[in-house]
Amino acid sequence: MRQAILLKLSVNPKQTIVQTGSNYRILIVDDEPNIVELLHYNLTREGYEVAEANNGQKAIETAQTFKPDVILMDVMMPVLDGIAACRQLREMPEFRQTHIIFLTARSEEFSEVAAFDAGADDFITKPIKPRALLSRLAALARREAQQEEQEQVINIAGLRIDRTSFAVYKGDKKITLPKKEFELLAFLAATPNKVFTRDELLNSIWGSDVYVIPRTVDVHIRKVREKVGEDHIRTIKGVGYKFNTD
């Protein structure tokens, strides 16, 4: 990894932005100082640019100036919780493609479903293992590099899926999807009529090193259908999903 070049910029007493030599900007959002300090230390050591916020409202304000590539967001926070903050960020065009990874000590399935329904890309339970987190971020960068090498525009079944702009066009209508929804649609459309299991989709879109429940795929499929139409993705009962060209 490249050596970090640190330059602290004073924003307010509880927020510091660190500029380094990395390409990725990461916003840490958590009201537990020990967790923020742990993540901040390990991320800056790897050369990431880091900003901090201690609640969801501050996260939205900081994101608008810092322009993060990745947001590590706690769920339970004062002022504005992480799920509400995620929903507000996803409503802003500039953050529809930002990676939002939730951090939480809660392991109940409903928490994960609520997070993904709000637009989350990933879900990490506490206590956080820095090495595992860094590995996940590296895998994220690798997947993005691989996706850049794929065909940039897919024209299929009345849709034009443009990987360069993360936009879908249905006739003259432009449809903007959050990153994971777009990746899921593009992946299925790249191999039409091939049936993929939920596990295959989880491994291909979220990665094999990410722990997410199979229902995550169902949540994202439902949201894609709401935006591009019910007929493009077909459910194969007991198996999985395929992109439909019939």
Model confidence pLDDT, tens digit, residues 201-231 = 988 888 766 666 678 889 899 999 999 999 9
Tell which residue, 88, 109, 113, has the closest CA to residue 98.
88
% of residues, the chain, pLDDT over 70:
83
SS3 77: coil
Domains annotated on the chain, with CATH = 7-146 (3.40.50.2300), 150-243 (1.10.10.10)
Q: b/e per residue, 183-202, with b = 16+ CB within 10 A?
A: bbbbbbbeeeeeebebeebb
Model confidence pLDDT, tens digit, residues 126-150 = 888 888 888 888 877 777 766 665 6
The predicted model scores a pTM of: 0.63
pLDDT of residue 203: 84
pLDDT of residue 3: 31
- Residue 197 parent element (H or E): strand 196-197
- Residue 155 parent element (H or E): strand 153-156
